[in-house]
Structure 1
Amino acid sequence: MKRLFVLVALIFPLALSAQTRLSETVAADFSNRVAHHYTLKNDSITGYIAEQLTRSGAGGLDIDSTMFNLKNDLPALDAALKYLYQYSDCNRQRFIANLRGMNLQTNSVFPLATYTANKYKNDTKALLEDKSDFLKTYTGPVTGKQAPAAVAQATSTTDNTATATTTAGTGETTAAGTTATTEGAAISAPPVADTRNWEVKPLFQVRTPEQLVDMFGKDNVTQRDAIDLAGTKEGEAYVIYPDTDDELEVQFDGENGNILTFSHFPSRWKSPYGIKAGDPLAKLIKVNGRPFRINGFEWTNGGLVSDWQGGALEGKNVVIQLKANNTGDPKTYDQVTGDKTIRSDLPVLKKLDIIIQSVAFKSN
Structure 2
Amino acid sequence: MILRLLAALLALAGAVLPAAAAELACSGAFGPDSSEARLIETFGKENVVFGEVPGAEGETMLATTVFPNDEARRFQVGWWDEENRDSIAYFTVPPNDSAPGGVHIGQTVAEVQALNGEPFTLLGFYWDYGGSASFTSGKLASLPGGCSLGVAFEPRKDLPTGVDDTPILGDREVSSTEPLLVDLDARIYDVYLSYPDPSAPADTDTGEGEGAGEAAAPQ
Q: Which runs of 5+ in 1 are unaligned?
A: 1-193
Q: Which residue does the alignment assign to 2:117?
A: 289
Cα 1:328–1:351 shift into 2, 3 Å: closer
Q: Which residue does the alignment assign to 1:273?
A: 101
Cα 1:338–1:235 shift into 2, 3 Å: closer
> In structure 2, what is the Cα distance between the partners aligned to 1:274 and 1:241?
22
Alignment of 1:1-364 (within 5 A): 199-200=24-25, 201-205=27-31, 207-227=34-54, 230-231=56-57, 233=59, 235-242=61-68, 243-254=70-81, 257-262=88-93, 265=95, 267=96, 269-305=97-133, 308=135, 310-314=137-141, 317-327=148-158, 329=160, 331-332=162-163, 334-335=165-166, 336-363=168-195
Query: In the comparison of the two structures, how many residue pairs are matched?
Result: 164
> In structure 2, what is the Cα distance between the partners aligned to 1:198 and 1:213?
21
Structure 2 counterpart SS, 1:260: strand
Q: Which amino acid aligns with 1:202?
A: G
The answer as to whether partners of 1:327 and 1:333 remain within 8 angstroms in 2 is no
Cα deviation, 1:308-352, whole Å, max 9, x if unaligned, reads 463233365212111111126454483411232211111121111
Q: Which amino acid aligns with 1:318?
A: L
Q: Which runs of 5+ in 2 are unaligned?
A: 1-18, 197-219
Cα 1:227–1:290 shift into 2, 3 Å: farther
Structure 2 counterpart SS, 1:253: strand
| Bigger relative contact order, structure 1 or 2 (CA pairs below 8 A, ≥6 apart) | 2
> Structure 2 length as normaliser, TM-score?
0.62
Cα 1:325–1:249 shift into 2, 3 Å: same
> In structure 2, what is the Cα distance between the partners aligned to 1:349 and 1:249?
28
Cα 1:291–1:270 shift into 2, 3 Å: closer
Structure 2 counterpart SS, 1:313: helix
State the structure with more CA Rg: 1
Q: Which amino acid aligns with 1:282?
A: A
Cα 1:270–1:348 shift into 2, 3 Å: closer
> In structure 2, what is the Cα distance between the partners aligned to 1:339 and 1:258?
25
> In structure 1, what is the Cα distance between the partners aligned to 2:44 and 2:51?
17
> In structure 1, what is the Cα distance between the partners aligned to 2:106 and 2:40?
28
Q: Which residue does the alignment assign to 1:46?
A: none
> In structure 1, what is the Cα distance between the partners aligned to 2:42 and 2:161?
47
Structure 2 counterpart SS, 1:286: helix
Cα 1:220–1:293 shift into 2, 3 Å: same
Post-superposition shift, 1:226? 4.4
Compare the two structures and name the one with the higher strand fraction.
2
Post-superposition shift, 1:293? 1.5
> In structure 1, what is the Cα distance between the partners aligned to 2:175 and 2:162?
18
Compare the two structures and name the one with the higher helix fraction.
1
> In structure 2, what is the Cα distance between the partners aligned to 1:356 and 1:349?
12
Cα deviation, 1:140-160, whole Å, max 9, x if unaligned, reads xxxxxxxxxxxxxxxxxxxxx
> In structure 2, what is the Cα distance between the partners aligned to 1:309 and 1:208?
27
> Structure 1 length as normaliser, TM-score?
0.39
Cα 1:253–1:349 shift into 2, 3 Å: same
Cα 1:293–1:221 shift into 2, 3 Å: same
The answer as to whether partners of 1:252 and 1:258 remain within 8 angstroms in 2 is yes
CA RMSD, aligned part only? 3.0
Post-superposition shift, 1:204? 2.4
